[in-house]
């Protein structure tokens, strides 16, 4: 064999080895650890139950995302239809690909929200959902109250950690997208403590 053929095969082998290594690296997902506990409110509170539509919740969620990102461009947008959709862009091997992830909302006992991934669309690539969530977690800066749990294929929304003025807290009570019924509970401190 001549020198150019050997060089070509060595280079091709090196490129294939790097690609395989990157897929192994991306595919390795570690345990996410336990979910955070809802923050305890030490004040005596009164509860106000608020009914919202899918459109209302979508607007509220995107507003909180915009506030959390300050003046940076939004890394994800939320749409609420028959399920909850997160749309973003991921860069894989210097290609920017649109990604849409579909989630089913589950209300936790403590009033927080767990988004269980049901499907995803990532350009023409066929990658496991846990891999896409891991790339999203590692490449997109999300607010502290959005916790990506790649191995579990879910996103935890810590409603008790939302930055709301005063000592107000939000809890989810019901999330029925089929009937367009979303019930949220606003916990208001007695005597208006911390509302100024």
Whether 88 is in a domain gets the answer yes
Instruction: Find the helix or strand (DSSP H, E) in which 136 lies.
Output: helix 129-139
Whether 20 is in a domain gets the answer no
Contact 57, 80 (CB under 8 A): yes
Whether 125 is in a domain gets the answer yes
Whether 11 is in a domain gets the answer no
Looking at residue 76, its pLDDT comes to 81
Q: Which residues pair with 78 in a beta bridge?
A: 86
Whether 7 is in a domain gets the answer no
Determine the Cα–Cα distance for residues 41 and 161; give it in Å rounded to an integer.
11
Determine the Cα–Cα distance for residues 120 and 116; give it in Å rounded to an integer.
12
Whether 81 is in a domain gets the answer yes
Determine the Cα–Cα distance for residues 65 and 77; give it in Å rounded to an integer.
8
Its pTM stands at 0.73
pLDDT single digits (tens) 77-114: 899 999 999 888 776 667 777 888 899 999 999 889 99
Instruction: Find the helix or strand (DSSP H, E) in which 14 lies.
Output: helix 3-27
Which structure tokens are listed for 81?
């239809």
Q: Which parts of the chain are beta strand (E)?
A: 45-52, 77-80, 84-92, 95-107, 113-122, 146-149, 154-157, 169-176, 181-189
Residues in contact with 191: Cβ distance below 8 Å, sequence separation at least 6, in sequence order: none
Residue 30's SS3 state is coil
Alpha carbon 32 to its chain's center: 13
Q: What total number of domains does the chain contain?
A: 1
**DSSP at 150:** T
Structural domain range at position 141:
45-192
47, pLDDT greater than 90? no
- Percentage of the chain beyond pLDDT 70 is 76
pLDDT single digits (tens) 128-154: 778 778 877 777 778 888 888 888 889
Whether 18 is in a domain gets the answer no
């Amino acid at each position: 064999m001549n020198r150019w053929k050997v060089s070509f095969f060595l280079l091709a082998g090196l490129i294939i080895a790097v690609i395989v290594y990157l897929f192994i690296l991306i595919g390795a997902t570690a345990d996410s650890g336990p979910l955070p506990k809802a923050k305890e409110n030490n004040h005596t509170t009164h509860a106000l139950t608020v009914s919202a539509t899918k459109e209302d919740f979508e607007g509220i969620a995107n507003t909180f995302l915009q506030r959390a990102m300050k003046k940076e461009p939004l890394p994800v947008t939320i749409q609420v239809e028959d399920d909850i959709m997160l749309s973003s862009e991921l860069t894989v091997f210097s290609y920017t690909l649109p990604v849409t992830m579909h989630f089913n909302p589950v209300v936790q006992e403590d009033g927080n929200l767990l988004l269980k991934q049901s499907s995803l669309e990532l350009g023409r690539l066929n990658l496991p959902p846990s891999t896409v969530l891991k790339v999203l977690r590692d490449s997109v800066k999300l607010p502290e109250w959005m916790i990506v749990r790649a191995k579990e294929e879910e996103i935890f929304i810590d409603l008790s950690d939302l930055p709301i003025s005063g000592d107000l807290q939000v809890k989810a009570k019901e999330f029925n997208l089929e009937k367009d019924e979303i019930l949220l509970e606003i916990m208001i401190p007695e005597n208006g403590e911390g509302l100024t």
